[in-house]
Amino acid sequence: MRLSRRRFLTLSACALATPAGAATGRWRGYAFGAEVSLELRGPHGLVEADLQAVIAEIRVLERRFSLYDPASDLSRLNARGEGALSQEMREILDLSLRVHAVTGGLFDPTIQPLWEALAQGGDVKVARDLIGLDRVTREADHIKLGAGQKLSFNGIAQGYATDRIAALLAARGYGEALINMGEFTALGGPFRLGLEDPEAGRLGAVHLNAGAMATSSPSAMTVGGETHILHPKGGAPMWSTVTVLAKGAGKTALADAASTAFCLMSRSGIETAKQKLGLSRVYLVDVAGNLSSL
């Protein structure tokens, strides 16, 4: 497996009406499979508690969605085929179902058996036959997978975590923040962010103001000779990089899931899905390195 996608995540935030001589809290650690750097600036006596609240939120979400921790909710669900449905799992599954429907099934969290087959030299055909979000059933507080199925929320979980942390900071009085947990969300702004492609490099920039930005590049990681964004129906990616922008709070998970699926879709299909999902802008980089937008 080859990995080249960015693996350093950052969060920098400043509280509203921060007085002169305010305190700064910093933390460096490991989360969501990457190094994480956090820096908060706010009133003395509060900033350290705010920093610890962010770290605690990160740990809660890792315990829900990590595929690397055998004790996480998702790992146990995949091992048992059914389990309790937490609020976080319900929210991320609801959004997954919405994007799944709008993209004609091209966003599908049941892709995990195919990933494992490619990574471990398993039977790819058998694994592909297990894909199908329609086989997942749930009640108010319980979820059951189809026989042999496993879930992965790698195409949406980092965006979801970004939204949760942004909401936590906003509630604690932080009005200027750029949060990068693999995808970006901005409180206030504008913040200038680059549009980049693994092969073509930096192609442009956008100004993010009170909104979300998510990017997917199929070739940034490979598994078993295929790009890491796997086609549920056996096709190949149509774009080298897709970047999705969405306005408003709590839209990073939506942009994250959309950018994943859009890598597999035609330009006209993306245009239709963009309108249905209420996204503000989509930037496309084709295999020749040409940048365009919708």
Provide the residue range defining the domain that includes 91.
73-144
Which amino acid is present at 148?
A: G
Tokens of 106: 């091209």
**Residues found in the chain:** 294
| CA–CA distances in Å: residue 60 to residues 25, 87, 130, 255 | 20, 12, 29, 22
pLDDT, residue 6, reads 40
CATH code assigned at 83: 1.10.3980.10
Q: For 30-58, what is each residue's pLDDT tens digit?
A: 777 777 778 887 777 788 888 899 999 99
- Asked if residue 85 belongs to a domain, the reply is yes
Please report which residue ranges of the chain form alpha helices under DSSP H: 47-65, 73-80, 87-102, 112-120, 124-129, 157-171, 252-262, 267-277
Task: Please tell me which of 144-148, 179-183, 196-200 the model is most confident about, judged by mean pLDDT.
Answer: 144-148
Q: Is residue 128 one of the residues assigned to a domain?
A: yes
Q: If you ran DSSP here, which 8-state letter would residue 188 be given?
A: S
Question: Whole-angstrom Cα distance, residue 103 to residue 114?
Answer: 19
**Residue bearing tokens 């947990």:** 181
Query: Model confidence over 64-76: pLDDT tens digits?
Result: 999 988 999 999 9
Nearest-CA neighbor of 83 among 75, 93, 91?
A: 75
Q: What percent of the chain has a predicted confidence (pLDDT) above 90? A: 66
What global pTM score does this model have? Answer: 0.91
* Confidence grade of residue 226 (pLDDT, cut at 50, 70, 90): confident
Spatial contact of 13 and 38, defined as CB atoms under 8 Å apart: no
Burial class of residue 128, CB neighbours in 10 A (0-12, 13-18, 19+): middle
Q: Print the SS3 string covering 28-76.
A: EEEECCEEEEEEEEECCCCHHHHHHHHHHHHHHHHHHHCCCCCCCHHHH
In a domain, 81, yes or no: yes
The answer to the question of residue 106 being in a domain is: yes
Query: What was the pLDDT predicted at 270?
Result: 98
Give dist(CA 107, CA 36) in Å, integer. 27
Token pair 């942004």: residue:
166
CB 46 within 8 A of CB 25: no
123 in a domain, yes or no?
yes
Residue 229 domain-assigned (yes or no)? no
The answer to whether residue 282 sits within a structural domain is no
Computed over every residue of the chain, the mean pLDDT equals: 90
d(CA 113, CA 187): 37
How many other C-beta atoms lie within 10 A of the C-beta of residue 170? 17
Instruction: Provide the number of structural domains found in the chain.
Output: 1
Whether 118 is covered by a domain: the verdict is yes
pLDDT of residue 19 exceeding 80, the answer is no
Burial label for 125, CB within 10 Å (0-12, 13-18, 19+), is exposed
